[in-house]
């Protein structure tokens, strides 16, 4: 009996696991994964918030720098506008033009803001609103500068007109000497009677150079009856004509342009003349005027009345 080979059968161990324990295990696992997911999400959110904060901070630095630059630009441009405005006033007064009133100058600043600018002013951050205001100020300065530039161009045109007028207005002695006969009714030494003297006579030595008293164009150069050798110059922009009679010789021809101070002839006694002198006339619209009103005294540089 002890030597027999008898097989021993193993009985499997069966463990009964309580369902509640399984539920707790699953719940714990779910909670672990939930907490892990929340931690990851929270960490990700913190990282995103940090990145966004840094971006906003960088953007704000840019906006602050932009605003500072714009404010400096507004300040500089406002100073330039003020200088141009004063220049416009001074030049206007100098040339006898009414200066532009300050309220008109300020009206030129106004303009329409774009929809995006209006949106930034209403809905933007404080920095964006300030930048929008500064940019509008810059646009206003530009509009005022453009307005003043146009105004200065008008003044320049008026200055040119006045310059042309005065450059062609007779104003200097055509020749220095002694006035031997005034403008007006006088006794004519050759015709032996009282006649209207339509100019003045300036006596000096023969061949003395005679100068143009203003810019103009020669419209006559030749012999004309009792005038003898005669030159007539048209000063078109001022509306005057001047005549120079009893010349020894003429040095210009019809069509020549002359400038104030150019030598146009030599003093003589051609025509009805009793001695060397210049008969000088100033006319406007065909009417003879007293040349003394157009002579600047070489001693005092004032017009002789």
pLDDT in tens for each of the 305 residues of the chain?
A: 445 555 555 555 444 556 666 666 666 676 666 666 666 765 666 666 666 656 666 666 676 777 777 778 778 877 888 888 888 888 888 777 888 888 787 776 665 555 555 555 555 567 777 777 777 787 888 888 888 888 888 888 888 888 889 999 999 999 999 999 999 886 666 556 668 899 999 999 999 999 999 999 999 999 998 999 999 999 999 999 999 999 999 999 999 999 999 999 999 999 989 899 999 999 999 999 999 999 875 543 333 33
Question: Does 56 share its domain with 158?
Answer: yes
What is the extent of the structural domain holding 94? Answer: 51-167
Neighbours of 219 (CB within 10 A): 14
Boundary (domain end) residue, out of 146, 167, 188: 167
Looking at the DSSP assignment, which residues form a beta bridge with residue 196? 185
User: Using CA atoms, how far apart are residues 149 and 146, in angstroms rounded to an integer?
Assistant: 5
Which CATH number do you get for residue 223? 2.70.70.10
In this predicted structure, what is the pLDDT of residue 278? 97
Q: Is position 41 within any domain? A: no
Q: In this structure, what are the phi and psi dihedrals at residue 132, rounded to the nearest 5 degrees?
A: -60, -40
Q: Is the pTM of this model over 0.85?
A: no
Using the 3D structure, point to which of 167, 190, 223 is the last residue of a domain. Answer: 167
**Domain boundary residue among 167, 196, 219?**
167
Domains of the chain: total: 2
Helices and strands, counts by H and E, the chain: 4, 12
Residues 6+ apart with CB under 8 A from 191: 272
Three-class DSSP category at 192: coil
């Amino acid at each position: 009996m002890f030597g027999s080979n008898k097989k021993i059968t193993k009985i499997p161990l069966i463990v009964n696991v309580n369902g509640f324990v399984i539920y707790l295990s699953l719940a714990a696992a779910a909670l672990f994964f939930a907490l892990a997911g929340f931690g990851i999400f929270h960490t990700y959110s913190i990282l995103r918030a940090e990145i966004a904060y840094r971006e906003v901070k960088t953007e704000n630095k840019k906006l602050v720098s932009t605003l500072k630059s714009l404010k400096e630009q507004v300040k500089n441009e406002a100073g330039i506008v003020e200088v141009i405005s004063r220049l416009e006033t001074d030049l206007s007064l100098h040339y006898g033009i009414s200066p532009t009133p300050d309220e008109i100058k300020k009206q030129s600043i106004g303009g329409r803001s774009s929809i995006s600018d209006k949106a930034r002013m209403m809905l933007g951050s404080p920095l964006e609103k300030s930048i929008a205001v500064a940019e509008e100020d810059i646009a206003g300065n530009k509009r005022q500068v453009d307005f003043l530039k146009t105004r200065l161009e008008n003044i320049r045109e008026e200055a040119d007109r006045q310059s042309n007028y005065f450059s062609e207005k007779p104003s200097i002695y055509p020749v220095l000497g002694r006035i031997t006969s005034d403008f007006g009714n006088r006794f004519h030494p050759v015709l032996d009677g009282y006649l209207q003297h339509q100019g003045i006579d300036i006596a000096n030595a023969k061949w003395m150079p005679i100068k143009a008293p203003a810019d103009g164009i020669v419209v006559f150069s030749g012999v004309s009856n009792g005038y003898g050798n005669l030159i007539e110059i048209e000063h078109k922009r001022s509306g005057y004509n001047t005549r120079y009679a009893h010349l020894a010789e003429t040095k210009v021809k019809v069509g020549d342009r002359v400038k104030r101070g150019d030598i146009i002839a030599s003093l003589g006694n051609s025509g009805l003349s009793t001695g060397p002198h210049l008969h000088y006339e100033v006319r406007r619209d065909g009417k003879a005027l007293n040349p003394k009103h157009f002579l600047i005294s070489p001693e005092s540089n004032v017009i002789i009345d």
